[in-house]
Structure 1
Amino acid sequence: MNPQFIFKEEILLSIVAIVLMMVVIFFVKNAIKKFSFVKAIDANRRKIIIVLSFTVIYIVFGAILAAVWGVDFNKLSIFISSILAVLGVAFVAQWSLLSNLTASVILFFNHPVRIGSRIRILDKDFDLTGEVKDITGFYFFIETDKGEMITFPNSLIMQKGIEILGNKKE
């Protein structure tokens, strides 16, 4: 058999997968941009969601390429579980990081609070009223009426009741 045609099918399928991945990325990026424009969401928050979406897309298409090239998934799963075990030990609070990232996505798509909103966090121990200054992948920043800058993990914001006192006029 001619050596130049040994991996012809794998190369063709890889090219198709890469083109498909680029098309999916294009549509996902445009959909997120349109959604963030309609909901008046800050560009920094949009970037976080785009990066998280791209990470998921790359992992899915990486698995597709691995299947195309005939990677033994038993050996690959052992390798990935070893890497995840090392990361799990390195990031002792791995579940906390993931919950904050997940809460960030939920805040982006489904929560009415926006940067510039004036809110009150309903907590029996503290009376926190102020303006939302920033919402990142992990933290929610509020400047209180007393001028204090308070940060909350996004996962904690999802657990608290929030009264929206007013939204920033754009």
Structure 2
Amino acid sequence: MLTYQTEILHTAILLVIMFAIIFLTKRAIRRFGFIRSIEVNRRKIILNLSYLVIYIFVISILAIIWGVDLKQFTVFISSVLAVLGVGFFAQWSILSNLTASVILFFSHPVRIGHRIRILEKDFNLTGRVKDITGFYFFMITDNGQDITLPNSYVLQKGIQILKEDEAPGDLGFINPDTNNKEISA
């Protein structure tokens, strides 16, 4: 029993640190979401992604604490990352959509309920934002069509946030901080 005493102590300390990090992360994301008026479902997606990163990190440290050989552990982790890399390269859009979802959450002014126009020369995509998930951006166009776009596509295109009474052809942009129309050059 005494031989595992230090490992149990280190594990207990690591678990306390993990729960503290999870608590602080949850609190920070809730506060950020409240300040920026971000919907609860979008906050849950970001929370789940942060939990995944925290758990993977903690499991790696636990493996080292409990005596897994560091060389064998690095070979195992590099093999897993190589397989994941090949898998994500085959399905690159999955990884890019998850990344775009995080970027849309933290730094994009578009929110659920906004009336927007996606600046695409071939299509007139004007309507209201219905939902933003981990992979897709849902909107209802002015003519009643449900449109589903990948998050990476939305991030690549320019978005014009329209006022409620503004015509889709108007070239004025709304500053999301002041809600004032700015004339585009």
Normalised TM-score (structure 1): 0.89
- Which segments of 5 or more consecutive residues in structure 2 lack a partner in the other structure? 165-185
CA distance in 2, matches of 1:93, 1:121: 28
Counterpart of 1:29 in structure 2 is 26
Match of 2:40 in 1: 43
Gaps spanning 5+ residues in structure 1: where?
A: none
Please tell me the residue identity of whatever aligns with 1:157. Answer: V
How far apart in 1 are the matches of 2:53 and 2:109? Answer: 25
Higher relative contact order (CA 8 A, sep 6+): 1
Deviating runs (4+, > 4 A) in structure 1? 84-92
Look up the match of 1:149.
146
Partner deviation per Cα, 1:37-82 (whole Å, 9 max, x = no partner) = 1111111100000000001111111122122122123322333344
Matches within 5 A, 1:133-148: 133-148=130-145
* Pairing 1:124-139 to 2, within 5 Å after superposition: 124-139=121-136
Q: 1:110-121, aligned counterparts within 5 Å?
A: 110-121=107-118
- 2:64 is the counterpart of 1:67: yes
Which TM-score applies when normalising by structure 2?
0.82
Range moving further from structure 2, 62-71 or 154-163: 62-71
**Given that residues 88 and 95 in structure 2 are in contact (C-alpha distance below 8 angstroms), is that contact kept between their aligned partners in structure 1?**
no
The Cα shift of 1:88 comes to 5.4
Offset at residue 92 of structure 1 (A): 6.3
Q: How many correspondences in the alignment?
A: 164
Correspondence for 2:16: 19
1:144 counterpart letter in structure 2: T
